[in-house]
A and B are shown apart, each in its own frame.
Chain A
Amino acid sequence: MKHQPFESWLYEREVLTKDQARDLEDHLEICDSCRALATAWTDIEGQLYSASLVAPAPGFSRRWRAHLADHRRRANHRQMSAMLLMTTAGLAVLSVLFGAELLPLLEPAVPTLVAWGGKVASLVANLNMFRLIMGILVEATVENVPLVYRVVLPLSLAGLAAFWVISIYRLSYRRIRKE
């Protein structure tokens, strides 16, 4: 027995013409196989139409906002990482490209840099010496100068320093503020 086109028709009964619908019904009366399919499809279609929409858990919008915020945070992080990587890569490329060119230019500056290094080292040594001298002076003062002078002298020095700081402040900072 031929099952086509009836087998195809039974899934789309709503679009069949009256003649086609009648032919299909005639075929279903004599064909057990197609009748079984028709019954099965009617059951399934009923289940599909009766199946309702399933909703997400409450708070979906709130979770969406959190998801969006997380996405933005990750995107920012990715962007920063990419920028850092690109900068590093750029510097590396520049070093490779121009390193050979820059080295000869830096060569004359090497003695100057060495000289500056020596000066800094001697300054540190001088500072240590200054500290030593000051220590000896203080010891000598404590032993030979009376207590009154030992109090008056630092106070006078502190007063002079304060006067100096205030003068500098009035002459520079306040004047700038007025301007």
Chain B
Amino acid sequence: MVERPNESEWIHRAQQGDDDAFAMLVEAYQVAVYNLCYRMLGNPMEAEDAAQETFLRAYKGLKRYDPERRFATWLLSIASHHCIDRLRRRRFPIRSIDELLPWQQKADDTPGPESTLTVKESQEAVRKMLEQLGDQDRAVLILRYWYDLSYEEIAQSLSSSVSAVKSRLHRARRQLAGQWIMHTSVEVGKQGRCDEASAF
């Protein structure tokens, strides 16, 4: 993640109690934080709540922020911990989302109509894959693939060790690969049965 040019100034002003400066930080990092919450929780409404709560916690804890550390990593650390806490508190299973809500937007350029279905299918496939992982493993995978954080940064964000991060990442990858094989074999089986049925 790229550091914004005025970031340190905004942080300094926000630490002095300037709400407008903190609003600039919210504006700059809203997508990063929301995406992490969405990928962790799999639910747009809950992701919105979690992202708002993340910024509130950051606002309240800004005095304790260490400028030596990247602000983005610090913010993502708060978001990760908050999402993991939420997942632990969850009493009900994750609700299925058949498609993104109408107000939800993609951060990058909007794809053309011909590729919209593919993008949605891909998003859904990714969401379902992540849903199968444990909370901590999911957090490690998200921080690695969406935010390109190093093992050290991930370990720092999740208050863990580098070896634990590597171990979690390996486990998550192996689990995903195994599930993918099962998923594709089931799909192939279904396809085969359909072909047989249509032959009669």
Contacts and interface: CB of A to CB of B under 8 A. Distances in A.
Nearest to A71: B56
B170 interface: yes
B107 A53 contact: yes
B105 interface: yes
Interface magnitude class on chain A: 20 to 34
A53 B108 contact: yes
Main secondary structure on A side of the interface with B: helix
Nearest to B170: A11
A121 interface: no
B52 A52 contact: no
A55 B107 contact: yes
Interface residues of B, number: 42
Contacts of B31: 53-56
B107 A51 contact: no
B56 A68 contact: yes
A60 B28 CA distance: 11
Interface stretch (B2-10, B19-27, B69-77): B19-27
B59 A40 contact: no
Given A56-B31, A64-B23, A67-B52, A50 B122 contact: yes
A150 B61 CA distance: 81
Given A61-B27, A61-B30, A54 B38 contact: yes
A63 interface: yes
Contacts of A58: 103, 105
A60 B55 CA distance: 11
Interface of A: 7-8, 11-12, 36-37, 40-41, 43-44, 47-58, 60-61, 63-65, 67-68, 71
